[in-house]
Every structure is written in structure tokens, then in C-alpha cells.
Amino acid sequence: MKGTEQIPERYHSSRGKIQAGQVVSSGTSGSHTPRAAYIHVPFCAHKCGYCDFASLAGSDHLADRYLVALEREMAMRLSEPRPVDTIFIGGGTPTRLDASQLARLLSAVAHWFPLDAGGEWTVEANPGTLDESKVEVLHRGGVNRVSLGAQSFHRPSLKVLERNHDPEDVPKAVDWVRSAFDRWSLDLIFGVPGSTLEHWSNDLEQALALGPDHLSCYGLTFEKGTLLWKQQADGAVHAIDEDVEYAQFAYALDRLASAGLRQYEISNHARPGQECRHNLVYWSNAPYFGVGLGAARFVDRVRAINTRDLMAYLKRVEAGDDPTGPSEQLETDEFARETLMLMLRRTQLGVNRQEFQERTGVSLESVAGESLGRHIQRGNLEDDGQKVWLTRQGIFVADMVLADML
């Protein structure tokens, strides 16, 4: 829905799309049984120009059929309810469903993935698709966190991104969300063609004025095949100057830190205790369930992704067939390198040697001792003996550092 979420769309740009003072742990260390579930809802009012997610506009008439298929897929994969610590319903735009469809979805998810006490249940929402009745349905259905895709308060930037909401929709949606939920988040995108540092700082101020405890700031990426990518290829749109994008990113780190929202992942900032626990599962490379169109799951060290073709998904599930597309069993070395790369994204937690060993069965040094040493020497990483983490300098070259670990 925004600029990243499910990790296996592997190795999102460090500042691309794509959840503690006390940084919370994933709560899954050492466990092979998923304690997290992702559910995908692909419907959108309109396809945004930069979007390469499994999302589509103009298919709302298939929503009821899709919900039946989702229920079948959960029954097929799980056979019995699986208690979890975190649930994340993403998209697409889950709140594109009408109130009764949303209620049906939440009830099915609550049945198959009962949330343990203290668990986190997030739903992504778009300002233009939210209203009081849907907020009420979410709240009654057990959701306790909402992630709102604001992206920008600058009308020309929303236009370039082809978002179909207006800047003034955001405060309205935040009012509704705040009235029902203690935990909520805003997403913003920087690096938008035509934007300046001033536009971006104004976006941040408008977001901060709404009082979020969690803010995601994604750097815009021109994903192959998207409308924005084509516009760039045709010369109709030009990426902003790298120095401006760098300045926007640097400004966000400083401004958000001064507002008490500390960076805990390359693109994510939160007050202590307000981190997105579900995304922390991805960044610790812990297992998770995933159902729905294009959804990824990671169970028993097998990464699998469902088809992204809606009709194929529906027909396969309706015929009792598995809608899985590509899947891959990760060998120990590959799993360990992925784990390192993902954990390094956690700018506070970093890669804790003990956690790493417990998760992967191998030592950090045996996997990447040489690369780590090189980046520590260059000042991109810091090592206190217990953990290794990205320095501020390293955060700016994270794509290169993470690629080196692979």
C-alpha cells in the first residue's frame, strides 16, 4: 500500500518501500512456528503511478468472491486455528472493502489467527477510503493499530504519485483513527519528482502536527513496469537530484529524532514502545504466515509467494488448488545471510550475535566476518562485541552495505 511491506519482495531498497527506548523484540526468537500472519487485500480505488504491489483498481465487483477465497485458503493452509502475536492486513487498500465486507474479513481472520493477549493487529488504510463506520468495524473486529498512507501533504506531489486523496483528507482520517486507536502510524514518501527540501520539511511538519507515535518515511523508487517508471523512461518525469533526496532523508532523521520519534529501522521512526511489532518479525527473519493475492509466507525456511494474478488466484483456490507461485527452500548459508541483511535494517537493535546464532544456528563471524570487518573499518558499521549496527554514515549507504552481506 505504501512504499514496502512484506519483506520477501526481497531486499527493498534500504530507503524504499517497505515494524521500542526499549526496542521490542519480535517475540519469536528461536521459534520455528510462525507467530505472525499477513493477509493481503488487493483492491484499490485507483492504481497509483509508483505502485508495484499486488493491487488493482476496477475489480471491486470481485471482492466478495475474493473474501470467500481467502477463507478457503486459510482453511486449506492451516486446518486449525493458529494463535499469533501479530496480524497485518495490507494491500492494496483493505479499507476499500465496504463495512460489511471488512467485518466479514476480520471475523474470518480472528477465527484462523486468534490473537494472543497483548498482540498487535494492524490494518493499512487510505485516507480517502476511511470513514467513521469502517473505523468502528475495525475497532469492534479486534484491530488495535492502523497504518495510514498519507504519503504527502503537498498537492503537486500527490499528483505526481497519482494518489487519489487530497491533503485535507489526512487530518480527517487521523481524527477518526485517533478516536478509536491508541496505536497508529502515518506513511510519507520523499524523493518525489519536483519536490524540494522545503516541500519535504513542510510534509514532516504537517505530519508531526497530527501527533503520530510512528512515522514511516520511504524513498520513492521507480519500479520497473509502473506508470511512473514509464513516464521517467519517456522523459515526462525526472527523478530529483540525488543531493536533494539525500538532504530530505538526512533532514527527516534529524527532525524526527528531535520530535522524539527515533529511527528504529531504515525507513521507520517511533516513540519507544510504538514500533510495529509485525514488521519487526520480518526484520528478524522469523517465520510468518501469509495469505491472499501475491502474499509471501516464510514457514519451515521455505519462502513462498502466491500468484499475483487475481483471476488465477480465485480459480485455483476455488478448485481446491494451491495458489502458490514461486517458492524456495533456504539453505543454512542463504538463510543466515538474509537474516544478517534483515537484522541490519534495525538501526537500534542491529544484529545481536546471540540472537543471530539462535535464529540461524551459525555464528555471525562465520557468515560475514570479512564483510563486517571491512564495513566497520570504513565507518559504516559499529561493533560493541555483542551486536553490530549501522552507523549514521552506514544508514546513507545501507543499500551497498546490505548487498555486500549477501
Question: Which residue ranges make up the site for ligand SF4 (CB under 6 A)?
Answer: 1, 44, 47-48, 51, 53, 55, 91-93, 126
Cα distance between residue 168 and residue 266, in whole Å: 28
Q: How far apart are CA 188 and CA 251, in angstroms?
A: 14
The nearer residue to ligand SF4, 187 or 265, going by C-beta atoms, is 187
Q: 27-65 burial, b for 16+ CB within 10 Å, e for fewer?
A: bbeeeeebbbbbbbbbbbbbbbbbbbbbbbbebbebbee
CB of residue 13 vs ligand SF4: minimum separation in angstroms?
Answer: 15
Least separation in angstroms between residue 164's CB and ligand SF4 is 8
DSSP bridge partners of 40:
90
Which of 126, 263 has the CB closer to ligand SF4? 126
Rounded to 5, what percent of the chain is helix, strand, coil?
A: 40, 20, 35
Min dist CB 173 to ligand SF4, Å, is 13
Q: How far is the CB of 326 from ligand SF4 (least distance, A)?
A: 21
Residue 92 backbone zone (phi > 0: left; psi -120 to 50: alpha; other: beta): left
Considering beta carbons, is residue 53 or 176 the nearer one to ligand SF4?
53
Q: How far apart are CA 234 and CA 395, in angstroms?
A: 32
Nearer residue to ligand SF4 within complex by CB, 27 or 128 = 128
The three grid cell numbers given for residue 106, joined into one nine-digit string: 476480520
Shortest Cβ 92–ligand SF4 spacing (Å): 5
Taking the complex as a whole, the smallest distance from the CB of residue 128 to ligand SF4 amounts, in Å, to 9
The least distance separating ligand SF4 from the CB of residue 131, rounded to whole angstroms, comes to 16
d(CA 64, CA 129): 18
Residue 25's nearest CA partner among 271, 270, 360, 281 is 281
Residue 267's nearest CA partner among 8, 1, 5, 18 is: 18
Q: Which is nearer to ligand SF4, 17 or 104 (CB)?
A: 17
Of the pair 1, 317, the CB lying nearest ligand SF4 is at: 1
Closest residue by Cα to residue 405 from 359, 367, 350: 367
Which residue's CB is nearer to ligand SF4, number 173 or number 372? 173
Residue nearest to ligand SF4 (CB): 51
